[in-house]
Structure 1
Amino acid sequence: MTDFAAARLNMVESQVRVNAVTDDRLIAAMAAVPRERFVPISRQGIAYMDEDILISDGKAPRFLMEPRVFAKLVQLAAISADDLVLDVGCGTGYSTAVLSRLAGTVVGLESDENLAAQAGATLSDLGVDNAVVVAGALAAGYAKQAPYDVIFMNGMVTSVPETLQKQIRENGRLVAVTGDGVSGRARLYIRSSAGFSGRDAFDANIRFLPGFEPVESFVF
């Protein structure tokens, strides 16, 4: 039987701390949230491996982001205790659970209704009371609760839709890994009165969020 508490501690010490993650609140959150609860039973034994974990193999396969990249991306967002956060592509809810320990309120947005229902049930079972999961198109965001202090993109994207840009309050942040599927860069975007701009932060290569993949072009 897997000792999940030991696996969780090993994840924090060997994957998170050693990769320049120094935010004590984030480290404590990842040490507390039972990652194994957010993956299929058949994959719980590998829930703490430093790789993307398949959580749904339907028409659009979904993955739980690898711990190292996840931690660095959350740290990049610099989430405060009173922030309102939109978690785009929350999957089974692991990211929402971690973010809920850092922010005031978290809205988890998931396009797969089955995953959204599963996420909501797991968060409720774990006693998370400052987060809600809603089902809807990821690129559309969730305007009903906007503007957000932080938007967290839970997978690789080719670009950030203007729809999401407009749901960030002034001086708010959006973090995402942008790329083409071969290589990617984590970026921090800021919305200001002058517009929406971003800067590169670190190299990362994770799975695409559904609907954000590169559009194939025809070659004649």
Structure 2
Amino acid sequence: MSGPDFSSLRSAMVSNQLRTNKVTDAAVLAAMASVPRELFAGEGQGAVCYRDTMVPLGEGRALNPPIATGRLLGVARPRFGEKALVVGSATGYVAALLAEMGCAVTALEESPALVARAQVATVEGPLAAGWPEAAPYDLIYIDGAVERVPDAIVDQLAEGGRLVGAVNERGVTRLVIGRRAAGGFGLDIFADVETAVLPGFAPAPAFTF
């Protein structure tokens, strides 16, 4: 018995999930139609990874739904030759998409088990620290929801650089984009979409007497 037709599943994902949900950037659609998403899922989850849902990867982590990835890349507008950092790269799907779009990508993951399974070159370290060795970045993509974006990561953005990801507000994950300018840095929410929550980003506990 033949296996799933992954090429057809990718085409359906683009047509039925992305195009119908405000993902219109031609470069993003082309990359997501080209990169084999099944390679980044767990064993036996190849067909499942094309559904509009999170796919467990183990270690408490998950491959985010296609719509979350598509919407974030769509607002990020990666450009050929830009330096990009993927925080929480897991098995490397978003890093592979950015590379397909012509970016010079640093994929950062803190789980040794996920680093071992990654399909792209990956550096290992605490997610909340970013990867200052290759900074500054034109684009930082946080691949999951965090309770806060640490200053350490914002500081790794180039002037005019963009940061995309999600914030976790009382159990609701909201997609955000921010830009660094001379006046500072701020995040704008643009959609409520389910995403996996990344570890290690809880706010520091408030000091009490």
Match of 2:190 in 1: 201
Offset of residue 75 of structure 1: 1.0
Q: Which residue of 1 aligns with 2:48?
A: 46
Task: Report the 3-state secondary structure (helix = DSSP H, G, I; strand = E; otherwise coil) of the residue aligned with 1:43.
Answer: coil
Contact 2:148 2:202 in 1 (8 A): no
- Cα distance per residue 1:114-150 (max 9 Å; x no partner): 211321xx23xxxxxxxx3101100000000000000
Q: Work out the CA distance in 2 between the residues paired with 1:216 and 1:2.
A: 48
1:73-113 deviations in Å (ceiling 9; x for gaps): 11111111121000000000111111111243000000012
Letter in 1 for 2:42: P
Q: Which residue of 1 aligns with 2:114?
A: 115
Identity %: 35
Shift of 1:181: 5.2
1:102-141 residue pairs with structure 2 within 5 A?
Answer: 102-119=101-118, 122-123=119-120, 132-141=121-130
Tell me, yes or no, if structure 1 residue 152 matches structure 2 residue 141. Answer: yes
Residue 152 of structure 1 deviates from its aligned partner by 0.2
Matched residue SS, 1:42: coil
Gaps in structure 1 of 5+ consecutive residues: 124-131
Matched residue, 2:12: 10
**Partner Cα separation in structure 1 for residue 173 and residue 102 of structure 2:** 27
Q: Provide the residue aligned with 1:143 in structure 2.
A: 132
Q: Which residue of 1 aligns with 2:31?
A: 29
TM-score by length of 1: 0.88
- Give the distance between the partners of 1:27 and 1:167, measured in 2 at CA: 28
Q: Given the two structures, how large is their TM-score scaled by the length of structure 2? A: 0.92
Q: Residue 178 in 1 paired to residue 167 in 2?
A: yes
TM-aligned CA deviation for residue 2 of structure 1: 1.1
| CA distance in 2: counterparts of 1:20 and 1:100, whole angstroms | 22
How many residues of Structure 1 are paired with residues of Structure 2 in the alignment? Answer: 204
Which AA in structure 2 matches 1:33? V
CA distances 1:181-219 after superposition (whole Å, capped 9, x unpaired) = 5213211111111111122211223111111257899xx
Runs in 1 of length 4+ with deviation above 4 angstroms? 213-217
8 A Cα contact 1:181 1:208, kept in partner: no
Q: State the SS of the aligned residue for 2:45.
A: helix
